[in-house]
Structure 1
């Protein structure tokens, strides 16, 4: 089974012009922004300043990737478990210009192990994540069960 992807595993190597040491000491969420800098510029968004603790988003495991979905514009981006901050490169977190904290499962490695052991796509979503994508993930891994139908009389 391939490893589960996050910001840390998606972009492990420094981009041109960066030393390995500088890249590895840059917090993972900021590495993601560096990789996505052209999209930030095209969308006219500044780099985030500060943390808005009143907002929070949830990391979810979706087809073998840890993602965060923006509640403002519904875009999904890789999540960084070593740096639980999120800044949407499409809407700037509804124009706030601030990082939002990311809620991760308390037992991330256990969640990954269980998700990889199931048949089908490697998926998991936090029970308190209100997004439609998270609801879809939860239904895929634990579909609602219909009650058994009573036998039809006369058959």
Structure 2
């Protein structure tokens, strides 16, 4: 799916010259907008395509890629995985354990959320992920894994 996303991005760039007699490079603004949109899709795919187990790994993937402490946004991403209700509950419980107690309401929506910016009137300000929750070694290994994924796509 990540390769398909890259292919779609390439096609969208090539479409700027479909009927042009002399091909010209697309504008920088178009490339920047396209790059941001595709990056969000790729981040979402990395979380959705992540294996269910270990549960803490999936939660850590979400927090590293989105830094979004919203339980409702995490739940929507988990629903995209197509898991059983019991498995969804396990993931959401692990996500809630990972958060400070002040963020358990689910009312926060981050501007880096996979679901877009916060609606008007909702709280802002991203919370820092707790580095000790998943263990230092896991976090280091995971960052290497994510870096490797970025190079392959």
- Please state which band the TM-score falls in when normalised by the shorter chain: under 0.3
| Greater per-residue helix proportion | 2
Question: Looking at CA atoms only, which structure, 1 or 2, has the larger radius of gyration?
Answer: 1
TM-score (norm 2): 0.24
